[in-house]
């Protein structure tokens, strides 16, 4: 069912008002005719007769455009609904042959300066914000609704898998760890690690005591576990403190272990393959895959949450800022202005003109697809109000012509006869 807008209601009311005015004027002509007959006033009779003829004739002409007058299928009436297909063909030919003319369009494009006008419009903050509002309210949510989550997640999975499989993590690890074999970087990192371990050991002394207590015999009454805890704690602290000293035996053994490991990674293909397989196995775990799948959900949630902020939306502000910057950038770049105008004038216009028959056929087929009655009602709603002036003018002009004819007849009889 066609939706009737407030604007349509206003047009309907205006059309009815003008119809009543035209009909009322015709009614006045009828009343004058009756008065003229009754009181035998020839000049008034001539005026009213011609006014009635003019008013009725123009009423017939106006109504015949849109429907059969009084519902009677008189020949050459209801022109718009019955001639809809011919109108469509003629309109399509007119647009393609008369409107789509290269010389005319090039002249208009030169006058208009499309690039400069567009850039001026885009650079205005209000216009940029209106576009951003439309994008935020319709375009982005529409895209998010159209895209299937499963397809996006599958795409992300495939792209991630292809990229990961193309990486040799073993080689990367070997390259990344090579600087650790020399210089102060390795010593500093190892010292920092030992400092962290020593600090964590101190912070978790009570936890160590609890673990020892649960492992010692019940009959020791807590004496053994306390001694064992102190021994374990002190032993570990002594080990870590000694390891912090770069010249200690423990530190030297740790350095040798790290050096041997790095050498194996760097020189052993099998070791690099093992590292690569280990990382790939980790990436293939369900937890990691679930995290990858959740990336799209997080992106969608972030976008929708931001758009819900209204005028405070960072996306909306970014789009508006980009549009303004884009508009200002074009306006300040004379070369770009010429390129855009030349593109529209030459390339885009050529495509349009080369397909003008297609455009004409499209217009014709579109008009033909419309319902004749609906088209007639729509056109009457748009231009019917103005056409009622034809009825009014027909009544008045007809009356005046009646007076002219009466005057000519009276002169002839008075002066000639």
182-209 residue pLDDT tens: 556 666 777 777 777 778 777 777 776 6
Determine contact, residues 114/341, Cβ cutoff 8 Å. yes
Report the run of H or E that residue 351 belongs to, with start and end. helix 349-354
245-269 residue pLDDT tens: 777 787 777 777 777 777 776 677 7
> So what's the pLDDT on residue 42?
92
Is it the case that residue 218 has pLDDT exceeding 60? no
> So what's the pLDDT on residue 1?
42
93-131 residue pLDDT tens: 888 887 787 777 877 777 778 888 889 999 999 999 999
More confidently predicted of 52 and 6: 52
For the segment 278-302, the average pLDDT, to the nearest whole number, is 80
For the beta carbon of residue 88, count every other beta carbon within 10 angstroms.
21
Q: How far is CA 231 from CA 62, 202, 236, in A?
A: 113, 13, 8
More confidently predicted of 385 and 291: 385
Alpha-carbon distance 174 to 287, whole Å? 27
Alpha-carbon distance 403 to 126, whole Å? 61
Alpha-carbon distance 316 to 248, whole Å? 62
Alpha-carbon distance 236 to 230, whole Å? 10
> So what's the pLDDT on residue 178?
62
Q: Give the chain's radius of gyration (CA, Å).
A: 46
Is it the case that residue 220 has pLDDT exceeding 50? no
Q: Which two tokens stand for residue 355?
A: 């397909």
318-372 residue pLDDT tens: 999 999 999 888 888 888 888 888 888 888 788 888 888 888 888 889 888 888 8
Categorise residue 285: left if φ over 0, alpha if ψ from -120 to 50, beta otherwise. beta
More confidently predicted of 54 and 211: 54
> So what's the pLDDT on residue 17?
94
Q: How confident is the model at residue 415 (pLDDT cuts 50, 70, 90)?
A: confident
Judging by beta carbons within 10 Å of its beta carbon (0-12, 13-18, 19+), is residue 170 exposed, middle or buried?
A: buried
- What are the domain boundaries of the chain? 6-82+371-416, 168-293
> So what's the pLDDT on residue 219?
41
Judging by beta carbons within 10 Å of its beta carbon (0-12, 13-18, 19+), is residue 71 exposed, middle or buried?
A: exposed
Alpha-carbon distance 246 to 254, whole Å? 10
Mean pLDDT of the chain: 82
Q: How confident is the model at residue 175 (pLDDT cuts 50, 70, 90)?
A: low
122-162 residue pLDDT tens: 999 999 999 999 998 888 888 888 888 888 888 887 877 77
> So what's the pLDDT on residue 180?
58
Instruction: Give whichever of 11-25, 110-124, 296-310, 325-339 has the largest mean pLDDT.
Output: 11-25
> So what's the pLDDT on residue 396?
94
Q: Which two tokens stand for residue 312?
A: 């405070």
Residues ≥6 apart with Cβ < 8 Å to 201: 208, 233, 236, 237, 240
**Angle in degrees, CA 125, 314, 140, rounded to 5:** 90
Categorise residue 334: left if φ over 0, alpha if ψ from -120 to 50, beta otherwise. alpha
> So what's the pLDDT on residue 51?
95
> So what's the pLDDT on residue 203?
79
Percent of the chain with pLDDT over 90: 24
Categorise residue 31: left if φ over 0, alpha if ψ from -120 to 50, beta otherwise. alpha
Q: What is the number of helices (H) and of strands (E) in the chain?
A: 21, 0
Distance from chain centroid for Cα 338: 28
> So what's the pLDDT on residue 176?
62
Q: Is pTM beyond 0.95 here?
A: no
Is it the case that residue 83 has pLDDT exceeding 50? yes
Residue 3 DSSP symbol: P
Is it the case that residue 213 has pLDDT exceeding 70? no
> So what's the pLDDT on residue 269?
74
Let me know how long the chain is.
417
Q: How confident is the model at residue 405 (pLDDT cuts 50, 70, 90)?
A: very high
């Amino acid at each position: 069912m066609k939706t009737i807008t407030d604007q349509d209601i206003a047009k309907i009311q205006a059309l009815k008002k003008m119809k009543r005015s035209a009909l009322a004027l015709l009614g006045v002509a009828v009343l004058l005719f009756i008065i003229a007959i009754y009181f035998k006033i020839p000049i008034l009779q001539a005026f009213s007769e011609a006014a009635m003829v003019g008013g009725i004739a123009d009423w017939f002409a106006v109504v015949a455009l849109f429907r059969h007058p009084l519902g009677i299928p008189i020949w050459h009436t209801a022109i718009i609904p019955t001639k809809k297909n011919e109108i469509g063909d003629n309109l399509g030919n007119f647009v393609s042959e008369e409107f789509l003319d290269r010389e005319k369009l090039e002249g208009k494009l030169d006058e208009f300066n499309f690039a400069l006008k567009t850039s001026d419009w885009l650079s205005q903050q209000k216009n940029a914000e209106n576009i951003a509002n439309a994008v935020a309210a319709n375009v982005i949510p529409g895209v998010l609704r159209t895209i299937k989550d499963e397809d996006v997640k599958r795409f992300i999975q495939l792209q991630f898998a292809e990229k990961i499989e193309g990486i040799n993590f073993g080689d990367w690890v070997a390259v990344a760890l090579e600087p650790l074999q020399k210089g102060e970087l390795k010593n500093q990192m190892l010292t920092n690690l030992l400092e962290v371990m020593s600090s964590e050991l101190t912070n978790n002394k009570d936890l160590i005591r609890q673990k020892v207590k649960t492992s010692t015999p019940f009959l020791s009454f807590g004496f053994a576990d306390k001694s064992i805890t102190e021994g374990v704690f002190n032993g570990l602290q002594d080990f870590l403190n000694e390891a912090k000293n770069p010249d200690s035996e423990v530190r030297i053994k740790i350095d040798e272990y790290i050096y041997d490991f790095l050498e194996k990674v760097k020189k052993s293909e099998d070791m690099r393959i093992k590292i690569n397989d280990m990382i790939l196995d980790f990436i293939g775990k369900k937890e990691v895959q679930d995290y990858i799948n959740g990336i799209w959900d997080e992106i969608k949630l972030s976008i929708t949450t931001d758009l819900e902020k209204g005028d405070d939306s960072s996306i909306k502000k970014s789009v508006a800022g980009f549009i303004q910057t884009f508009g200002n950038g074009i306006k300040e770049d004379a070369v770009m202005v010429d390129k855009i105008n030349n593109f529209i004038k030459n390339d885009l216009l050529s495509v349009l003109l080369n397909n003008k028959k297609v455009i004409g056929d499209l217009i014709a087929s579109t008009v033909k697809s419309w319902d004749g009655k609906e088209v007639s009602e729509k056109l009457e709603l748009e231009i019917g109000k103005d056409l009622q002036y034809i009825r009014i003018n027909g009544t008045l002009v007809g009356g005046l012509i009646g007076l002219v004819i009466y005057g000519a007849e009276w002169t002839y009889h008075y002066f000639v006869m």
